[in-house]
Amino acid sequence: MYYPVLDEELPGRKNLALGMYVHVPFCSTTCDFCAFYQEKPSKKRMEDYFLGLQAEILRFPPHRSISTIFIGGGTPGLLKSAELQRLCSLLRSLDLSQNVEWSVEIAPSEITPEKLSVLKQNGVNRISLGVQTFDSKYMEALGRKHPVQKTFDAYKEIRNIGFRSVNLDLIFGAPGQSIEDWEKDLKQAVALQPDHLSTYCLTFEEDTAMYLRLSNGKASIDSEREAAFYELAWEYLPAHGYNQYEVSNFARLGGACKHNLNTWAMNEWMGYGPSACSQVGGIRRKNLPDIEKWSAGMLGTKLPEFVEVEKLSASDLARDAILFGLRMNAGINLLEIGQRFALSPACFMEVVRFLDRLVEEGLAHGEAGNQYRLSSSGRILADAVAKEIPELDG
């Protein structure tokens, strides 16, 4: 089971937007909370990476025009200017839509005017700056080992070069962080006037240093405190011109991230690079999280190995469209989802009963025409709600 899947195989696919995700798996150090696949860069690994990427794109080329590109990591900003140019040239050789949204994730400490110019000249129009916090007390725990001033300098450089859209990533809930500290971070973020803000709650993923601290009793999870952090962001940011459009995402008018919207709508995306995930033609797959093995597989003559390959049915996709749609402030239109994924009347009614139960419990609002969205208390419990969505089998 692998690509290419012909457009004719699934009616309607030609009209779906196609996203492209490129994973750059290099980081100079590992943040305490990080569970992403990443390695320290070396000359050999970098060469393996580029050869693997070229081979992967040749073997599994995007099958239609690309609407959005997201280069994430890892730390894409760790690439030198010449390497960024190599990456951009490779992507520019593909069929990109005229209005492609092209985002690159960068950490403040990696930014130089030269790197930014390379990105701008190649058509990158959206920078996602990994701020995490403006508070020096929590910088190190959140993976930021540079002085706070570096973040301000980086933001200024990005604006000077004139990128169309800038996102700031913030993380809340570091051990010891108070609600007042979080408010100061929000205030500072708003003062910079970015186009988009993403605010994530610190998570304790297994096999991370943060998880070890949790297991040793040196950190704790306090869900009431987490809820208070979420609620503060949900009040503060819209009051300052940033509309919430998803549990963790806020944007000024027209600034929502198209790449994420495409993913959450269960359209299609192709992931390149070690550990990258793709979803195309009803197949979801994940690349090997190992540069050397992934690259060798892509350069070899046999079908490369993947960590996961899953054939998705239309009802699997419908369930995920409900799950991610409910996390959006706009919510879902169940009729549209039912029609798009040809849900059987029995499945449709099962979802209606589930959503009506959420409404009764005050976790969702139901509106005319089968429109549903989570209430504030539902959004706090979005992960638990997601687990309750019934499995659909037809």
Q: What residues make contact with ligand SF4 under the rule CB under 6 A?
A: 27, 30-31, 34, 36, 38, 73-75, 143
Task: Give the Cβ contact number of residue 254 at 10 Å.
Answer: 7
Give the nearer residue to ligand SF4 in terms of CB position, either 68 or 75. Answer: 75
Give the nearer residue to ligand SF4 in terms of CB position, either 35 or 299. Answer: 35
Give the nearer residue to ligand SF4 in terms of CB position, either 177 or 244. Answer: 177
Task: Give the Cβ contact number of residue 173 at 10 Å.
Answer: 21
Give the nearest residue (CB) to ligand SF4. 34
- Please list, residue by residue across 286-298, b when 16 or more beta carbons sit within 10 angstroms of its beta carbon and e when fewer do: bbbbbbebbbbbb
In the complex, the smallest distance separating the C-beta of residue 209 from ligand SF4, rounded to whole angstroms, is 10
The residue among 99, 66, 69 whose CA lies nearest residue 87 is: 69
Give the nearer residue to ligand SF4 in terms of CB position, either 30 or 85. Answer: 30
CA angle 179–185–190, rounded 5-degree value: 125
In the complex, the smallest distance separating the C-beta of residue 288 from ligand SF4, rounded to whole angstroms, is 17
In the complex, the smallest distance separating the C-beta of residue 23 from ligand SF4, rounded to whole angstroms, is 10
C-alpha distances out from residue 52 to 60, 120, 223, 315, Å: 12, 25, 42, 34
Give the nearer residue to ligand SF4 in terms of CB position, either 34 or 46. Answer: 34
Task: Give the Cβ contact number of residue 14 at 10 Å.
Answer: 11
In the complex, the smallest distance separating the C-beta of residue 34 from ligand SF4, rounded to whole angstroms, is 3
Between CA 195 and CA 36 the distance in angstroms is 26
Task: Look at the block and give the residue holding tokens 């009616």.
Answer: 11
In the complex, the smallest distance separating the C-beta of residue 196 from ligand SF4, rounded to whole angstroms, is 18
Give the chain's count of helices (H) and strands (E). Answer: 15, 15
